[in-house]
Structure 1
Amino acid sequence: MRKRNPFLSLSDIVYDILLQEIVSFRMAPGSRVNESTIAELLGVSRSPVKNALTRLMHNSYVVRQPGYRVAAFSEKEYTDIAELSELIEPYAAGRAAVAIKDTDLDVLYDIAGQLQHICVKSGNLQHRYIDVVDLEYQFHSRIVHLADHPLLEEFYEHIKYKLYRYRSYLNYDPPSGYFEVVGTEHLTICDILKMRDQGMAEAIMRRHLALARAEFKRKFPAENNQEFNKKGPFSPT
């Protein structure tokens, strides 16, 4: 999701690695985060790991209970983030539709095509959900960028990782038929953007986001506040 910056400090690099593990659902909500284990796996001292965990706690990705655990999912947090996304992304899609260039469309079509290939032709997607999440992240972030609104993009930066943490969960354990819809939805968005119709672009993005929100809300009540069984490499039992 995020390209590694060679000028980051060691604690920033550790933070970035752990953030991606959390956002991509490889470190599950409620799972324990062992400072010593992380330091050993990454080949670093405990100091940068401690600094990274402090930042993650400040940004509400981990909690201390004592010891660190990945923050549990919150229905209120998801609702708040989803509402912000539904304000930002349709507006961004409408702006992008007006100004989009053919070269930008080609990039979006390429990302959407990769998504369709994975979702429709790859059969069992349990092992490919990270690829789906990463491509969705690229697609949505690029549309926000194409809106050519720096303040809007800056605001989106503040919520996108929390947003994709929840979307990762939906992609990890999707309802029946969900991936088939995802595989075609992004191509449909591209087709609408190609028409350069601002209103239609806003409407299709709003519908797209509403679909994901409805599916998540359908799953959430049964699994809220439970510890998930899936453990990533940094979340030992």
Structure 2
Amino acid sequence: MSIDDGNLSEVTDQESAVKRSYRMLQEMVLSFEIKPGERINESELSKKLGVSRTPLREALNRLASENFVDFVTAKGFFRKEIKTREIYDLIELRIALEVAGAKLASKNASDEAIEELFDFMQEIHNIRAMPLAYVVSLDEKFHETLAGLSGNGELLAALRSVNVRIRPIRYLAVDPERMTLGELQQKEICIALKNRQVERLEELLTVHIYRSLTEVEQAVRELYGKIYVG
């Protein structure tokens, strides 16, 4: 093996360690194994995850850039607190992204692609008594597929980032009594898209996604209760 081959192998291993560290750390953050406001002990995490401090620090910096953790000079990394206003702002951002994506989809998507989304919507509505995490993942997939029909990859990537950050709140927002209404709204969204009704799409998506500040405050309180009380 040449020196260059050896260096390339080290770089590849390092990238793999960073990706693995990032994936495991993100899961620990989203599952609240690392609690809001908790200081992240890099030495302990390095041992727990089986990686060196360098890829761990790179993974933490990536999470900080994505607003999952905060870095405080001379103190280190902390799991970001869950703030009501921030979640509310993210929901508003989600609405803006989805409306923009749907408008582009109504112009760019083929009839066949729209029909596939319609079929997927009907398929997931026929599946009942699913685990909560699966319900949320299917709902995310529906909305991200819709956004993907826009043909704008950057818009879809932004929406996925928002969805990851609000996912814990969305778990709490899944109300069995509202699921039927949500399914009807998704069907109407698909019909509006098939008919290329841009204004109707904006109206339906806004109503479907919107949560008042009061609802978000209640969800955040419930989430903290589940984290610290169980």
**TM-score, normalised via structure 2 length:** 0.71
Q: 2:121 aligns with which of 102, 112, 120?
A: 112
CA 1:21–1:169: 2 relative to 1, 3 Å: farther
In the TM superposition, residue 155 of structure 1 has moved relative to its aligned partner by 4.6
CA 1:196–1:100: 2 relative to 1, 3 Å: same
Distance 1:67 1:135 in 2: 36
In structure 2, list runs of 5 or more residues that go unmatched.
1-12
SS at match of 1:63: strand
Q: 1:51 aligns with which of 52, 55, 58?
A: 58
In the TM superposition, residue 196 of structure 1 has moved relative to its aligned partner by 2.4
Q: Are positions 1:62 and 2:69 aligned together?
A: yes
Answer with 1 or 2: which has the greater Rg: 2
Question: For each residue in 1:204-235, what CA deviation from the matched residue of structure 2 results, as whole angstroms up to 9, or x when unmatched?
Answer: 2222122xx23x7414147459745449xxxx
In structure 1, list runs of 5 or more residues that go unmatched.
1-5, 232-237
SS at match of 1:9: helix
SS at match of 1:115: helix
SS at match of 1:177: helix
Q: Quick one: which amino acid aligns to residue 10 of structure 1?
A: A
CA 1:196–1:61: 2 relative to 1, 3 Å: same
Distance 1:194 1:84 in 2: 24
Query: 1:7-26 counterparts in 2 under 5 A?
Result: 9-19=16-26, 22=29, 25-26=30-31
The 8 Å contact of residues 27 and 70 in structure 1, kept in 2 or not, is answered as no
Identity of aligned residues (%): 22
Q: Are positions 1:220 and 2:214 aligned together?
A: no
Q: Are positions 1:139 and 2:136 aligned together?
A: no
Correspondence for 1:192? 192
Task: Tell me which protein shows more helix as a share of its residues.
Answer: 2
Question: For each residue in 1:166-186, what CA deviation from the matched residue of structure 2 results, as whole angstroms up to 9, or x when unmatched?
Answer: 244232464451333334432
CA 1:163–1:52: 2 relative to 1, 3 Å: same
Q: Which moved more, 1:11-20 or 1:190-199?
A: 11-20
SS at match of 2:67: coil
CA 1:47–1:171: 2 relative to 1, 3 Å: same
Query: 1:73-84 counterparts in 2 under 5 A?
Result: 73-84=82-93
Size of the alignment, in residue pairs? Answer: 212
Correspondence for 1:98? 107
Does 1 or 2 have the higher relative contact order (CA < 8 Å, sep 6+)? 1
CA 1:204–1:49: 2 relative to 1, 3 Å: same
RMSD: 3.5
Distance 1:30 1:191 in 2: 41
CA 1:173–1:147: 2 relative to 1, 3 Å: closer
The 8 Å contact of residues 172 and 219 in structure 2, kept in 1 or not, is answered as no
**TM-score, normalised via structure 1 length:** 0.70
Question: For each residue in 1:41-94, what CA deviation from the matched residue of structure 2 results, as whole angstroms up to 9, or x when unmatched?
Answer: 544334322321232123320135756543122122223222222222113212
Distance 1:222 1:87 in 2: 21
Distance 1:222 1:184 in 2: 23
The 8 Å contact of residues 10 and 48 in structure 1, kept in 2 or not, is answered as yes
In the TM superposition, residue 162 of structure 1 has moved relative to its aligned partner by 3.3
